[in-house]
Amino acid sequence: MTQHPLTILVTGGAGYIGSHACVELLQAGYQVVVIDNLCNSKPEALTRIEYITGKTLRFYHQDLRDKTALAAIFATETIDAVMHFAGLKAVGESCQKPQLYYDNNVYGSLSLFEAMAAAKVKNLIFSSSATVYQETDQRQYSENHPLGAINPYGRTKAMIEEILRDLANADTEINAENPWKIILLRYFNPIGAHESGMIGEDPDGIPNNLLPYISQVAIGKLAQLSVFGNDYPTPDGTGIRDYIHVVDLVKGHLKALAALTTEHFNNGGCKAYNLGGGHGYSVMEIIHAFERVLGRPIQYSIAPRRAGDLAEYFANPKLALNELNWQVEKTLHDMVADTWNWQTKNPYGYNSP
Ligand SMILES: NC(=O)c1ccc[n+]([C@@H]2O[C@H](COP(=O)([O-])OP(=O)(O)OC[C@H]3O[C@@H](n4cnc5c(N)ncnc54)[C@H](O)[C@@H]3O)[C@@H](O)[C@H]2O)c1
């Protein structure tokens, strides 16, 4: 990775996090190539990335599992590094359709890594998740916290991590000139939207996640929010998660990309970093923050706990600070206000007029 400007292949670049990554990359002077099959995103997101940045990207409407298409893309484009966001991400759906998740996420990733190796493109940032960690009594997760995903979605992430560790291990022994340089980024709970309000999370149907759900209640599309459990051993009884602004999250990817060129990675390797704020917010704190931004109450009711939900967990983000020089900058107010700005400007997501 020496010539400039570098070209980054962004898989899943039309999606929620990938689209924000494209904006930051283009604004930082990188060239961007996107592969996305649009199974959970809209091409309008790509148009808006170009509008926000005033720059163009190259888009391939392809599925990662199509090896012929991937080989052709790598033959056409000169790629320096890959940010691999493409994947299915709904925990509940992964329990109902595990084969789909293993096929799309694990096989799709294998197909990508094969194409990368064939093209000698061996710099990779992978979207992993805090779901790879085992549930223990420890509430704060460091990168050396025991692994042990508890659902098929989490297991796809854990398997891809294992594959990448094996790839890097095998490679330093046999090919030291151009070794795999891999960073696994374990996200906590990304929320928020770009400050322009032009790109954001656009879930199909009823949202699975708290913030899109609250904003659809606030705008009147959904009647009320169910708070699952108010009898957890937390200060207000509701579950606590480490929410992170999506723009902070993608800035962590740019820091990781820069780290691949430092002496830490001279001999290649595969290393995991948490991307989280380092402390949690309860569901009630999020609701109250939203109410402050709205200036009116949010309708909610208390429902029973959901099976498998933990009371509280959050990141230890010190490794990312020490080695990637990254930490969150946005506040809870930013996360909520930016979500609401996106929601009000786009009440029907990318289908809004
Ligand atoms: N959003 C979160 O809360 C969260 C948390 C932890 C990790 N992650 C991971 O981050 C990544 C991005 O998440 P997101 O929230 O932006 O999801 P998203 O669904 O908005 O984006 C994923 C994109 O990948 C595309 N895609 C999926 N399978 C594909 C395939 N086989 N070939 C080509 N394109 C494909 C989809 O069309 C979509 O545009 C995912 O890998 C997800 O598992 C997300």
Query: What pLDDT score does 177 carry?
Result: 84
Q: Which residues line ligand 1 (CB under 6 A)?
A: 12, 14-18, 35-41, 63-65, 85-89, 104, 108, 127, 129, 187, 190
CA distances in angstroms from 151 to 92, 155, 164, 204, listed in the order given: 9, 6, 20, 22
The one catalytic residue among 60, 153, 243, 350 = 153
Q: Which atom of ligand 1 is nearest to the CA of 40?
A: 37
Percent of the chain topping pLDDT 90: 89
What is the residue with the minimal CA distance to atom 27 of ligand 1?
Answer: 87
Q: What is the pLDDT of residue 2?
A: 52
- Whether the per-residue pLDDT at 202 is higher than 60: the answer is yes
Q: Give the per-residue pLDDT at 10.
A: 99
**Rounded mean pLDDT, 52-69:** 98
In a domain, 16, yes or no: yes
pLDDT tens by residue, 288-346: 999 999 999 999 999 999 887 889 999 999 999 999 999 999 999 999 999 999 999 99
State the residue for tokens 């890959």. 82
From atom 2 of ligand 1, which residue's Cα is the shortest distance away? 190
pLDDT the model gives residue 308: 79
Residue 18: give its domain's CATH number. Answer: 3.40.50.720
Give the containing element (helix H, strand E) for 336: helix 332-345
Residue of 9, 36, 48, 253 best suited for mutating to test ligand 1, as the one with most atoms within 8 Å of CB:
36
Q: Which domain holds residue 305?
A: 7-351
| Whether the predicted pLDDT of 32 surpasses 80 | yes
**What is the model's pLDDT at position 175?**
62
Does pLDDT of 1 surpass 70? no
The answer to whether residue 105 is domain-embedded is yes
Which residue has a Cα nearest atom 21 of ligand 1?
A: 15
User: Which of 67, 68, 85, 112, when mutated, tests ligand 1's pocket best, judged by the most ligand atoms within 8 Å of its CB?
Assistant: 85
- 65 Cα nearest atom in ligand 1: 31
Q: What is the DSSP letter of 65?
A: T
Residue 124 maps to a domain: yes
Residue 55 alpha carbon to ligand 1 centre in Å = 23
Instruction: Report the pLDDT value the prediction gives residue 171, as an integer from 0 to 100.
Output: 87
Number of domains in the chain: 1
Convert the pLDDT of each residue in 263-295 to its tens digit: 888 889 999 999 999 999 999 999 999 999 999
What is the pLDDT at residue 4? 64
Residue 279 covered by a domain? yes
Is position 43 within any domain? yes
The pLDDT value recorded for residue 174 is 66
Task: For residue 313, indicate whether it is catalytic.
Answer: no
Q: What is the β-pairing status of strands 140-141 and 189-191?
A: unpaired
CA of 103 to the centre of ligand 1 (A): 14
Residue at 2 is within a domain: no
Q: Which residue has the higher pLDDT, 322 or 262?
A: 322
Q: Tokens 């151009």 map to which residue?
A: 178
Do the domain assignments include residue 1? no
pLDDT band at 353 (very low <50, low <70, confident <90, very high): confident
- pLDDT at position 3: 53
Region 161-169: mean pLDDT is 96
In this structure, the residue with its CA closest to atom 1 of ligand 1 is 190
For all residues of the chain together, what is the average pLDDT? 95
Q: What is the pLDDT of residue 352?
A: 82
Confidence at residue 310, expressed as pLDDT on a 0 to 100 scale: 87
pLDDT (0 to 100) of residue 204 = 87
Q: Looking at residue 158, what is its pLDDT?
A: 98
User: Which residues neighbour 24 within 8 Å (Cβ) at sequence distance 6 or greater?
Assistant: 247, 250, 251, 253, 254
Candidate of 127, 133, 155, 248 to mutate for ligand 1, largest count of ligand atoms within 8 Å of Cβ: 127
Whether omega before 5 lies within 30 degrees of 0, making that bond cis, reads: yes
In a domain, 102, yes or no: yes
Measured between alpha carbons, how far is 338 from 191 in angstroms, rounded to an integer?
A: 9
Distance CA 206, CA 238 (A): 22
